[in-house]
Structure 1
């Protein structure tokens, strides 16, 4: 009888061990990832905010920290100095990295069309670059001057035919008061502000005239891509889900953005989202895609075929 009991106990013990062994595998600790933005919190980063809010990064076992950018933040140095794991670059920052021989790799371009715009009040009659002849155009910086000159040159207009007015970037009241005819900015910012002030606007996208480049480049170092490709793939899956969700639910996305940028109204964020969506989802190619010929055109003077500065291995359909 004792032997039978001992045998039964051994069977129970073995069964318990097997149950434990066959039980669910403990979830590993999430990977800590820091994302550096290249500007202050606003709608242009909607895909990341939404992916975080919807738990898409958590689904990929990623714990995300988002660092705000700004005028004094060097996003290239933050990435190369390993202060952050991944960073949003503008085309200017990627160009800087490529010029200096740094192997940063763009995983996607959030914006197929640059959100940089020239705009005028609707009753001005200004609708295209040719209409700027003889008009007073606000010049905020040398960068904007170059954008305006290139846009005009590409349609056969001599930049000397416009009236340049040096302005401060926050002096948009000059447009409302009629002191200038054309202002510059980003489609999700200054034009939205103007609409909320009660004015209809006409937009001119330099990108429609061959000026500008991909924007919202999500970049990693070549080292990170090679050593942590699985983590990069998971991050990209979550990010693309975030952008797709934001596009399909713009008002919900606006509510999420408002939590990151409470200084603007919900209506501002709603209008900003609607302004950005056509630049993200153009209907041509997958969201985030980068076309080889366009990339080479934009970065022709710094392009190296052995280190092109981008990859499409994580964007579906590319």
Structure 2
């Protein structure tokens, strides 16, 4: 599939405007921080997908690593992680490989140093009573797709021999009600989101993962500037050590993770604890995989790196593994502290 400029812009989403402002920032704003206080830009609102960060804060893991961390909420209209790092608003953050790749291609000096999720939760969801089980089943169907995800969706179709024009894309936002109402036949979303929220409302669904059909990627990746990688390696290690411990705590005590999310960190979101627990339960298998059980949390295997770059290439990205990833921090960290595994 050949992407036109319209699709390239869709891939960057609203981050493009933020990056344009970032490009005007003085070079000094991109420098690494010598302070032990740092801001972390979360890739979304403060819900349970950042449970490890909350427990790293609550259980003193950041403090024990010599860090004071300010967790900045993200969201649809929030600052992108890449722009936040580029302008100095954030020292580290979480994002998606798609957004990082788009930023790198614009010249933003950032790299992925680890991944919370070893497998992307991106999926196609349909009603359980009318399940669509593969990309080929989408031919002639109406599929709800957020505008910034259209390039990835169409790339998934093309990778599976489906002509994108044979599927009717219906622009949607975040509320999957159109699927319930029959306005669309399927929904492009995440296994940790729409199927969970719809099941809580009594609407059963069937989902298939993008990763099972040629679009394997890591997700919820940690991003820092290239200058931090060069000048603040000890700080990067300290941060990742605290993160590993925080996520181990979340895995060991998901009930406390949900309570902290609902009652403290995400209290302004008025989150439903049952739904948040279901979201966390759906997320944990993407964090704990055979590879991460063997190599350690957040590690990204060479095959996963290769598949991520290949998937991005299907959307028109030209980034290489070296452009996008630097896993040397985690390699050194686990070599120096094998007990962290």
**Given the two structures, how large is their TM-score scaled by the length of structure 1?**
0.81
The alpha-carbon deviation at position 159 of structure 1 amounts to: 3.0
The alpha-carbon deviation at position 293 of structure 1 amounts to: 4.2
Specify which of 160, 164, 175 is matched with residue 155 of structure 1: 160
| C-alpha separation in 2, matches of 1:122 and 1:312 | 43
Q: Which residue of 2 aligns with 1:146?
A: 151
Residue 219 of structure 2 is aligned to residue 215 of structure 1: yes
Specify which of 45, 48, 58 is matched with residue 43 of structure 1: 48
* Kept in 1: contact 2:81–2:90 (CA 8 A): no
Q: Which residue of 1 aligns with 2:329?
A: 313
Residue 299 of structure 2 is aligned to residue 292 of structure 1: no
| C-alpha separation in 1, matches of 2:232 and 2:171 | 46
Specify which of 257, 268, 271 is matched with residue 264 of structure 1: 271
Superposed CA deviations along residues 222-278 of structure 1, whole A, max 9, x for unmatched, are 222222222221111110111122122222211122122232110011000011111
| C-alpha separation in 2, matches of 1:51 and 1:264 | 21
| C-alpha separation in 2, matches of 1:177 and 1:295 | 39
- Cα RMSD of the aligned pairs, angstroms, is 2.3
| C-alpha separation in 1, matches of 2:41 and 2:146 | 26
Superposed CA deviations along residues 115-171 of structure 1, whole A, max 9, x for unmatched, are 222101211132332322333222331x33333322223233333433x15243145
* Kept in 2: contact 1:139–1:165 (CA 8 A): yes
1:191-202 residue pairs with structure 2 within 5 A? Answer: 191-202=195-206
2:289 match: secondary structure: coil
The alpha-carbon deviation at position 35 of structure 1 amounts to: 0.7
| C-alpha separation in 2, matches of 1:67 and 1:237 | 20
| C-alpha separation in 2, matches of 1:98 and 1:35 | 19
Superposed CA deviations along residues 266-309 of structure 1, whole A, max 9, x for unmatched, are 0011000011111111222332112234424533622274x553
2:108 match: secondary structure: coil
- Structure showing greater Rg: 1
Superposed CA deviations along residues 57-94 of structure 1, whole A, max 9, x for unmatched, are 12212221111112231321211222222121211221
Q: Which residue of 2 aligns with 1:116?
A: 122
Residue 284 of structure 2 is aligned to residue 280 of structure 1: no
1:97-246 residue pairs with structure 2 within 5 A? Answer: 97-141=103-147, 143-162=148-167, 164-211=168-215, 213-246=217-250
| C-alpha separation in 2, matches of 1:170 and 1:101 | 30
| C-alpha separation in 2, matches of 1:304 and 1:209 | 21
Q: How many residues align?
A: 286
| C-alpha separation in 2, matches of 1:244 and 1:105 | 24
Residue 57 of structure 2 is aligned to residue 52 of structure 1: yes
Specify which of 86, 90, 109 is matched with residue 84 of structure 1: 90
- Distance change in 2, residues 1:227/1:269 (3 Å): same
| C-alpha separation in 1, matches of 2:128 and 2:51 | 28
- Distance change in 2, residues 1:145/1:93 (3 Å): closer
Which structure carries more helix by proportion? 2
1:225 match: secondary structure: helix
Structure 2's unaligned 5+ residue stretches are 1-34, 336-340
| C-alpha separation in 1, matches of 2:160 and 2:126 | 18
